[in-house]
Structure 1
Amino acid sequence: MQEIETVLFDLGGVLVNWDPRHLYRKIFTDSSEMEYFLAEICHPHWNFLHDKAALEFENSIPDLQHRHPKYHDQIAAWRDRWPEMLAGSIGGTERVLEDLKHQNKVRLYALTNWSHQTWPHALAKFPFLQNFEGILVSGQEKLAKPDPRIFDLAASRFGFDPKTTLFIDDVEKNIQQAREMGFATHWFRDPAKLRKDLMDRGIL
């Protein structure tokens, strides 16, 4: 096992508690209707297209409203009330990040699938993002995980070697892609398991 010199974090689901349900539980009184809305209208792939800047709210919101007029206001809320999808940080992981920063054994970067239109909300809300030497945001690059090109871009821009980099993500297909490219990986489930893995690797 090569010594880890860099830790590359995903953000949503690892450090940031983002979930559209945090917003839509306030809007829908029927949870089954909410789940239908999030599965069939403002669905995960639709959100993913914003993450890689294939869609912009200026066009995507009116298009959905035209096709689903019954949900006109709920669709608008995705853009207008988007910050309410952020429930805060995942505290245990934030403490791991702070410990890594304090110990200064490894370089710290982030690679996130995030719309460039909503990214300013994250920057304003989460001071811990300043712990990273650099953050690569999919929506700013028009590439998104698990596309191997975004991993290559992160490595070239930040100057790290995948073989000495630990990549942390909560999405299995992203982990699989990184592993194929030579990264060490941690498939995130909870902060305690992450901390133990980092300790086992001698990083913490």
Structure 2
Amino acid sequence: MAAKIDHIVFDIGKVLIHYDPNLPFSRIIPDEEERKWFFQNVCTHEWNLEQDRGRTWEEAEALAIAEHPEQAENIRAFRKYWHEMVPHAYDESVAIMEQLIDSGRDVTMLTNFAADTFVDARKIFPFLNRPRGVTVSGEIGLIKPDVAIYEKHARDFGLNPEASIFIDDTLVNVEGAKAAGWQAVHFTDPAKLRADLIAHGVEL
């Protein structure tokens, strides 16, 4: 029998808010093949992840521009138009989170996010200020699925790992939480999330 859940921890991107770099870049680089090449070779997922780990945008841009000087304008556009990559919240997921908070549940957030874009996200989406707190990878120099980030979150917020459930859209991050001794569920849509929480004894 799994431990009773006392703490519910939400990931943010693609769980509470939508994120898609193609949104501004379909305008910036209209040619689909060219855009695909840009994301595979210039502003790659791995390049962006280093900002989530704490690298500054200035440093990130300088490194990418040194390698691809002809792409300088497009590289700078990534941060410049970042706000267009997060066009809306997932209202049903947010409703679940707010319902949990309103019913007195302990809710925190754990996210791979660059420190400065997270400041922007909080302004765009005020509900991100409602949970008890958040661990932002870019502020602490650790990223999921490193077990150390889950352990730090548990220490900082006084969570009992066995009594904590983590919600993330990326399977390796779910596995990272489990490796840290947490319970965890893979987010695919709000209906499944609701069912998963109920299955773990969290009333909604």
Query: TM-score, normalized by length of structure 2?
Result: 0.95
Structure 1 segments unaligned to the other structure (5+ residues): none
Distance, in Å, in 2 between the alignment partners of 1:8 and 1:168 is 6
Distance, in Å, in 1 between the alignment partners of 2:199 and 2:5 is 12
In the alignment, which residue of structure 1 is the partner of 2:199? 200
Alignment pair present for 1:167 and 2:166:
yes
State the Cα deviation string for residues 51-98 of structure 1 (Å, max 9, x = none).
011x21112212212321232211110122211111111112111111
Shift of 1:202: 3.0
Q: Aligned letter for 1:32?
A: E
In the alignment, which residue of structure 1 is the partner of 2:25? 24
Q: Secondary structure at the match of 2:87?
A: strand
Q: Aligned letter for 2:149?
A: I
Q: Secondary structure at the match of 1:118?
A: helix
Aligned counterparts, 1:21-170, within 5 A: 21-53=22-54, 55-104=55-104, 106-170=105-169
Shift of 1:199: 2.2
Q: Secondary structure at the match of 1:87?
A: coil
Distance, in Å, in 2 between the alignment partners of 1:21 and 1:103 is 37
State the Cα deviation string for residues 82-118 of structure 1 (Å, max 9, x = none).
11111111112111111111222x2000000111121
Distance, in Å, in 1 between the alignment partners of 2:57 and 2:6 is 38
Q: Aligned letter for 1:168?
A: I
Distance, in Å, in 1 between the alignment partners of 2:5 and 2:61 is 43
Q: Aligned letter for 2:67?
A: R
Q: Secondary structure at the match of 1:166?
A: strand
Shift of 1:188: 0.7
Whether the 8 Å contact between 2:11 and 2:168 is mirrored in structure 1 is yes
In the alignment, which residue of structure 2 is the partner of 1:182? 181
RMSD: 1.2
Whether the 8 Å contact between 2:147 and 2:179 is mirrored in structure 1 is no
Distance, in Å, in 2 between the alignment partners of 1:177 and 1:59 is 28
Structure 2 segments unaligned to the other structure (5+ residues): none
Identity of aligned residues (%): 33
Shift of 1:150: 0.8
Q: Aligned letter for 1:83?
A: H
Shift of 1:147: 1.1
Q: Aligned letter for 2:17?
A: V
